[in-house]
Amino acid sequence: MSCRGRHLTVILALIAAAGDAQGQEFPAVTDRDFTLDLHQGAVIGSGRIIGMGGAAQGLAQGSAGALFNPAAPAARADTSSRMWDWDFHIDFLNTSYGSDFDNNGILQETEFGLFQGPVVTVGAMLQYGCWAVGASGVFAEQQLEERADGSRVVPTAIVGRASVARALFDYQLMAGVGIRAGTFAMGLDAEDSPRQNLFSITGSSLEVGAIWRPRHLDLRLGASSSLPVSSENVTSTECDPLDCEGFILPDRAALPWQLSAGAAWRFGPNRWNRVVAGRWRDEKALVVAADVVVTGRVADGYGLEAYARQQLQPSGRSVSWSPRLGGEYEWLPGRLRLRAGTYWEPSRFRDAAGEDIPGRLHLTSGLDLRVWQFHLWGKDYRLRTSLTFDGADEYGNGGFSLGLWG
């Protein structure tokens, strides 16, 4: 054999070996002694926060901000001057544009549709004097692996938050404490039959947060922390945990602890942190914001999508960091705002060879459009609709929302 022929043989052998490594499966589930890592790396929340690359802490305010910081309900709008005030938001997101929702290297065959992979967030809050209360919820559903019988594995998560917050030092410092509680369930969808629930998991934990708005400056700072949620109450009432429609059920599930901190700066004709006499500011201004989010590890954690194939893919074995950056420009005062942002989504997963899967960069965009102005309870309000999009390698998330223009 010639030297060139030997080189070609070696190259082909290496390619074949690489192909075998890529096609290697993870270890099969053989018992219940493992933990499902339920952390989600991509930004999920209001249209404003997604559009600004997930930079939320310095901007946390009102109903939508309470998804990221429990002090947000007490952070009043600059134009809020009476004893009591209120806010609400409704956001609908569609995550079916991509094929790798969790950045775990497992590509899913997805079919785009309005209600494929929906994520819905809702919330409301009430302010009275220096005190405020808020409640919000997130519903998320994702269709995963299609099995040989044509049924699909469908995980569903419902997470609720309730918080109490108070403004201090003449509304310069807001502090809040809250509870996040959730239910995670996994079911099977088959044609011409109702969904069969395999198992469900419940858990709760505490959250704390603070927001600082120094008077007559253009700077706002925020920080929040969430304790881990660990559940050893994986329940199934319809089948044997060791053989539930071919699944061995997990013994535990967990959400890791999370610490977030960020800052925002506003460039405009007037100072940001001051009470505005009018009902709205209605001035051209640019807001830039940056956050860093640190997420803890999950001991003995394994990923959800591989589990849907009854395989164990290591997940959450180390602390991860996610820097986030975004900007918002009020182009047509009182009518139109434009947003753009970016963030790094670290992968928490390892591949079949035991190597860490690389993270990925997200690019985001969005806008607010005022659609209606109305009078209620002696005060004028504006209703706005928002559009948002988040794109990355093998990932796409778009949506719309309704809320009050603030």
What residue spans define the domains of the chain? 29-404
Structural tokens at position 59:
């901007």
Model's pTM, two decimal places?
A: 0.88
Q: CB under 8 Å to 322, separation ≥6 — which residues?
A: 41, 54, 292, 293, 294, 295, 343, 344, 345, 346
Compute the mean pLDDT over every residue in the chain, rounded to the nearest whole number.
87
| Distance, C-alpha 108 to centroid of its chain | 20
Pairing of strands 219-226, 258-267: antiparallel
CATH 2.40.160.60, applies to 29-404: yes
Query: What pLDDT is recorded for position 233?
Result: 65
Query: What pLDDT is recorded for position 10?
Result: 37
Query: What pLDDT is recorded for position 145?
Result: 64
* Nearest alpha-carbon partner for 336 in 267, 396, 276, 282: 282
| Distance, C-alpha 211 to centroid of its chain | 20
Query: What pLDDT is recorded for position 110?
Result: 58
* Nearest alpha-carbon partner for 47 in 346, 259, 341, 330: 341
| Cβ count near 228 (within 10 Å) | 14
Helix (H) or strand (E) holding 377: none
Contact 125, 133 (CB under 8 A): yes
Rounded Cα distance, 207 and 187, in Å: 29
Greatest Cα pair distance, the chain, in angstroms, is 92
Rounded Cα distance, 267 and 13, in Å: 59
Query: What pLDDT is recorded for position 237?
Result: 64
Structural tokens at position 346:
């670290």
Query: Which amino acid, 158?
Result: I
CA dihedral 176, 177, 179, 180 (to 10 degrees): 50
**Angle, alpha carbons 315-203-63 (nearest 5°):** 95
First to last CA, the chain: 76
CA dihedral 250, 161, 165, 327 (to 10 degrees): 100
Query: What pLDDT is recorded for position 227?
Result: 95
Rounded Cα distance, 90 and 403, in Å: 7
Residue with tokens 């002694």: 33
Secondary structure (3-state) at 143: coil
| Cβ count near 258 (within 10 Å) | 18
* Nearest alpha-carbon partner for 174 in 94, 73, 52: 73
Tens digit of each residue's pLDDT, the chain (406 residues): 444 444 443 333 333 333 333 444 899 999 999 999 988 889 988 889 999 999 999 999 999 999 999 999 999 988 888 899 999 889 998 877 778 888 998 887 655 444 456 889 999 999 999 999 999 999 988 777 667 777 788 888 899 999 999 999 999 999 999 999 888 888 888 777 777 888 888 889 999 999 999 998 999 999 999 999 877 767 776 788 888 888 898 988 889 999 999 999 999 999 999 988 888 889 999 999 999 999 999 999 999 889 988 899 999 999 999 999 999 999 999 999 999 999 999 999 999 889 999 999 999 999 999 999 999 888 888 999 999 999 999 998 999 998 888 8
Rounded Cα distance, 188 and 152, in Å: 6
Could you tell me the CA-to-CA distances from 66 to 119, 159, 325 in Å, in that order? 17, 13, 19
